[in-house]
């Protein structure tokens, strides 16, 4: 046949005369975005995505259905093409009612594929579950124990009865991986081929360890420096032993070391102004690390406790929440089965903790274990406004902690320089503040006084900038880092976690930043830095889903068994007893599998992510949607259908069955099957060609039925 030559995006392409632009482009390795094209099926031109513009040609053309002439010069990236393709994608996505990924994953700061690992746990494939988790989080056994699980707050199962126990299932699978049965193996990823690049990570907390883990997996040589005696950061020194046994954390960190990450402790940045906890560490400078390494990641955390902010806070016996927890962590022997202290910590009989977050809960429950007889939590709002996890509040109450809601420290009274009493201003809720919470206001003239030996301020924490003076800080005294690239004011220096921008956050947020930063730094080391950009996904409207789940069968959430309050308040052994295997398999089976089964291979979402689209601007009435199983082995979800008609054409041209067709006209058109006789049904059970051709996940293979 006669050959022709055309140019596409600057590349000369040779093809057969009579072939479409798309066919010639594909044969020559040039990608043109498309959705309704499928090999072996006649082109239809339905989606309007494969647009090209030609020099000297008046209108845009669809590459799948346009036959070019010799010498044409074409482009898929002109402003005109991009605008038209973007509008076409926005129109398709505005009418696409499907979840790309589960709401649980979308609410996880690390983007963990919760649906994926829960499915593997349900099937009994715990090793595969851990492999999925470690694509975003290298510390699942630790995080599964301590995370306040924002994933669960978004779980659709809450519309039926209760959210899935996502975090606890994670640590069940991770514990199985840390303690493999005879004949089974532990998951250990292999690093990529060495790149010759070296990265220093300052800080061995969850963010720093995560960045190190993923940079090492990419083949870079990574060294982590930490000022404390052991790695772990706040997971080791800010989370009590009874919540996170440090032998668990130690094993997970050992797995990171086994990957080839070098871990160096007792080394601090700078020599002046460091807290007492870091005084024994050898000093190094940021400048020396910059000279030795190709990139530096600052992940030093927020180790400085915020003050109470009232008269008398300088008295002996007033402690910062993080300082208190760190001191106790250094005194608890993590390898003692009884969780005993290696030295005495005297906080007296009466202890007041100021604050309402999880650090306050850790502090008050730790005070109970140190023998305090009266432990008070002072919080200026009500329980409904407390940011602490509900389970932590319940556990504290069970262990005998007294909560003084709607009170705020007015003065700390001392005798001979030592704390004696705390005077509390009684509060009431006023008008809502900027976050929507009702602001507490003082009740004039109303106070309450408590006799106390120790006051612990658990109301926040911040960066200690000693040794980091070269870096630009924001107005809050926190390292200023670009949110897309994590770059600081110094070339080659990146910053993540509690030390940056918004300040202290939960551990899984630091882990999420560690993974994202590793991807960005890898691109930087390869010579072309690519900023992190939140991927576009399709999300269903909550009100629609809530309505659909009304008739769903109720399956109550499995409750984590715990040691009794009377027993656990006397030591630092782990409170949780763990799930029984049959319980965790049953709990995993409650998953509604909200995310799309075809997400990884979906051509629609892949194409939509090539442009910065905003389909919400075109949002309107959705076309008729329904889910059916009339194709016997295939579930059809009309909500996800974009009417590309590939299923109809595949059924007609490839399968030669003609089962599918359009019903209705215009906007209300939908695709439906028509079974005419039993032989057709039998053929459909084995065919499945339409599901293989579908570009959106609207067709799902559900198994073969008799």
Alpha-carbon distance values, 98 to 222, 602, 640, 642 (Å):
41, 12, 6, 11
Nearest alpha carbon to residue 513 among 492, 491, 498, 528: 498
Among 359, 299, 357, 296, which Cα is nearest to 329's? 359
In whole angstroms, give the CA distance from residue 2 to residue 271. 77
pLDDT digits (tens, 9 = 90+) for 328-347: 999 987 777 677 788 889 99
Phi, psi of 537 (to 5 degrees): -140, 155
- Mean local confidence (pLDDT), 306-322: 94
Q: What is the pLDDT of residue 278?
A: 57
213-264 pLDDT, tens digit per residue, is: 999 999 999 999 999 999 999 999 999 999 999 999 999 999 999 999 999 9
Cα separation, 28 vs 254, whole angstroms: 48
Residue 659 and residue 680 in contact, taking contact as beta carbons nearer than 8 Å: yes
In angstroms, rounded to a whole number, what is the distance separating the alpha carbons of residues 202 and 563?
38
Least confident of 89-98, 224-233, 492-501: 89-98
| Beta-bridge mates of residue 350 | 374
375 Ramachandran zone, left/alpha/beta (phi>0; psi -120 to 50): beta
Domain ranges, ordered by start, for the chain: 3-94, 108-140+148-184+550-588, 198-303+467-525, 305-461, 623-701
Measured N-to-C along each axis, helices 206-217 and 507-525 cross at an angle, to the nearest 10 degrees, of 30
Q: How many Cβ atoms are within 10 Å of 609's Cβ, its own excluded?
A: 14
Q: Do domains 198-303+467-525 and 305-461 have the same CATH topology?
A: yes
> CATH number of 198-303+467-525: 1.10.10.10, 3.50.50.60, 3.40.1670.10, 3.10.20.30?
3.50.50.60
**Tell me, which fold does domain 623-701 have in CATH?**
Alpha-Beta Plaits (3.30.70)
Q: What digits encode the pLDDT tens for the residues 9-48?
A: 999 999 999 999 999 999 999 999 999 998 888 888 888 8
- Which DSSP symbol is given to 533? -
Mean pLDDT of 176-188: 79
Please name the helix (run of DSSP H) or strand (run of DSSP E) that holds residue 509, with its range, or none. helix 507-525
Say if domain 305-461 classifies as CATH 3.50.50.60: yes
Give tens-digit pLDDT for 111-127.
Answer: 999 999 999 999 999 99
Q: Is the pLDDT of residue 496 over 60?
A: yes
Mean pLDDT of 441-445: 94
Q: What percent of the chain has pLDDT over 70?
A: 97
Indicate if the pLDDT at residue 274 is higher than 50. no
Whole-prediction pTM: 0.91
Res. 272: pLDDT tops 50: no
Q: Which CATH number fits domain 3-94: 3.10.20.740, 3.40.50.2300, 3.20.20.80, 3.30.930.10?
A: 3.10.20.740
Per-chain mean pLDDT for the chain: 91
Q: Token match 């003239």: residue?
A: 445
pLDDT for the residue numbered 281: 65
- DSSP for residue 554: P
Amino acid 150: pLDDT: 95
Lowest mean pLDDT segment, chosen from 235-249, 378-392, 483-497, 612-626:
612-626
Asked if residue 271 has pLDDT above 70, the reply is no
Q: What does the alpha-carbon distance between residue 81 and residue 251 come to, in Å, rounded to a whole number?
A: 54
pLDDT in tens, 663-694: 887 778 888 887 767 777 777 878 889 999 99
Q: Which two tokens stand for residue 669?
A: 């058109």
Check residue 183 and give its pLDDT.
62
Residue 198 to residue 9: CA distance in whole angstroms: 37
Task: Report the candidate in 490, 494, 464 with the shortest Cα–Cα distance to residue 477.
Answer: 464
Contact 700, 634 (CB under 8 A): yes
Least confident of 273-282, 418-427, 503-512: 273-282
pLDDT digits (tens, 9 = 90+) for 555-594: 999 999 999 999 999 999 999 999 999 999 999 999 999 9
Q: At what angle do helices 126-133 and 114-122 cross, to 10 degrees?
A: 170
Cα 210 to Cα 106, 110, 179, 497, 514: the distances in Å are: 19, 11, 22, 11, 5
- Calculate the CA 544 to chain-centre distance: 25
């Amino acid at each position: 046949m006669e050959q022709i030559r055309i140019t596409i995006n600057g590349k000369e392409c040779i093809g057969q005369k009579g072939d479409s632009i798309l066919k010639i482009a594909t044969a020559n390795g040039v990608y043109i975005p498309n959705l309704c094209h499928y090999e072996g099926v006649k082109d239809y031109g339905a989606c309007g995505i494969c647009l090209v513009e030609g020099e000297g040609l008046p209108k845009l053309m669809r590459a799948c259905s346009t036959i070019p002439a010799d010498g044409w010069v074409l482009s898929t990236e002109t402003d005109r093409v991009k605008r038209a393709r973007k509008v076409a994608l926005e129109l398709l996505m505005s009418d696409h009612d499907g979840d790309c990924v589960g709401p649980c994953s979308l609410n996880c700061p690390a983007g963990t594929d919760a649906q994926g690992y829960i499915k593997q746990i349900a099937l009994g494939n715990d090793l595969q579950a851990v492999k999925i988790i470690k694509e975003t989080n290298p510390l699942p056994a630790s995080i599964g124990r301590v995370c306040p699980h924002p994933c669960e707050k978004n779980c659709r199962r809450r519309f039926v009865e209760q959210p899935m126990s996502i975090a606890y299932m994670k640590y069940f699978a991770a514990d199985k991986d840390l303690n493999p049965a005879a004949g089974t193996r532990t998951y250990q990823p292999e690093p990529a081929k060495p790149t010759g690049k070296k990265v220093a990570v300052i800080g061995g907390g969850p963010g720093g360890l995560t960045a190190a883990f993923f940079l090492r997996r990419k083949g870079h040589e990574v060294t982590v420096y930490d000022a404390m005696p052991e790695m772990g950061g706040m997971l080791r020194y800010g989370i009590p032993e009874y919540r996170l046994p440090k032998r668990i954390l130690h094993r997970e960190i050992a797995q990171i070391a086994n990957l080839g990450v070098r871990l160096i402790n007792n080394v601090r940045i700078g020599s002046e102004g460091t807290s007492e906890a870091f005084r024994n560490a050898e000093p190094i400078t940021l400048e020396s690390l910059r000279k030795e390494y190709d990139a530096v990641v600052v992940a030093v955390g927020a180790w400085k406790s915020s003050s109470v902010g009232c008269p008398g806070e300088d008295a002996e016996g007033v402690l910062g929440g993080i300082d208190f927890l760190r001191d106790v962590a250094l005194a608890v022997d993590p390898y003692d089965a009884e969780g005993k202290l290696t030295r005495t910590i005297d906080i007296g009989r009466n202890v007041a903790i100021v604050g309402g977050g999880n650090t306050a809960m850790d502090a008050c429950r730790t005070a109970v274990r140190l023998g305090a007889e009266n432990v008070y939590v002072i919080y200026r709002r009500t329980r409904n406004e407390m940011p602490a996890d509900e389970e932590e509040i319940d556990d504290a109450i069970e262990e005998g902690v007294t909560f003084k809601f709607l009170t705020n420290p007015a003065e700390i009274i001392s005798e001979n320089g030592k704390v004696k009493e705390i005077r509390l201003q009684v509060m009431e809720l006023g008008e809502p503040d900027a976050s929507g919470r009702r602001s507490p206001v003082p009740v004039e003239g109303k106070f309450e006084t408590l006799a106390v030996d120790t006051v612990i301020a658990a109301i926040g924490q911040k960066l200690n900038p000693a040794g980091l003076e070269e870096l630009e800080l924001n107005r809050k005294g926190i390292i200023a880092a670009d949110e897309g690239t994590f770059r600081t004011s110094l070339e080659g220096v990146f910053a993540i976690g509690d030390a940056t921008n918004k300040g202290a956050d939960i551990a899984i947020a630091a882990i999420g930043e560690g993974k994202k930063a590793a991807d960005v730094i890898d691109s930087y080391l390869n010579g072309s830095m690519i900023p992190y950009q939140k991927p576009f996904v399709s999300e269903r409207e909550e009100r629609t889903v809530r309505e659909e789940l009304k008739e769903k069968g109720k399956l109550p959430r499995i409750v984590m068994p715990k040691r009794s309050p009377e027993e656990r308040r006397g030591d630092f052994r782990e409170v949780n007893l763990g799930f029984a295997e049959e319980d965790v398999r049953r709990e995993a089976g409650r998953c509604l599998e909200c995310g799309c089964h075809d997400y990884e291979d979906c051509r629609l979402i892949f194409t939509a992510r090539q442009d910065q689209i905003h389909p919400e601007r075109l949002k309107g009435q959705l076309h008729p949607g329904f889910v059916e199983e009339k194709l016997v082995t295939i579930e059809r979800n009309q909500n996800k259908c974009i009417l590309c008609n590939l299923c109809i054409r595949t059924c007609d041209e490839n399968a030669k069955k003609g089962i599918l067709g359009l019903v209705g006209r215009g906007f209300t058109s939908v695709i439906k099957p028509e079974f005419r006789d039993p032989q057709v049904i039998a053929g459909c059970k084995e065919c499945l060609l339409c599901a293989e051709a579908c570009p959106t996940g609207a067709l799902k293979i559900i198994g073969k039925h008799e």
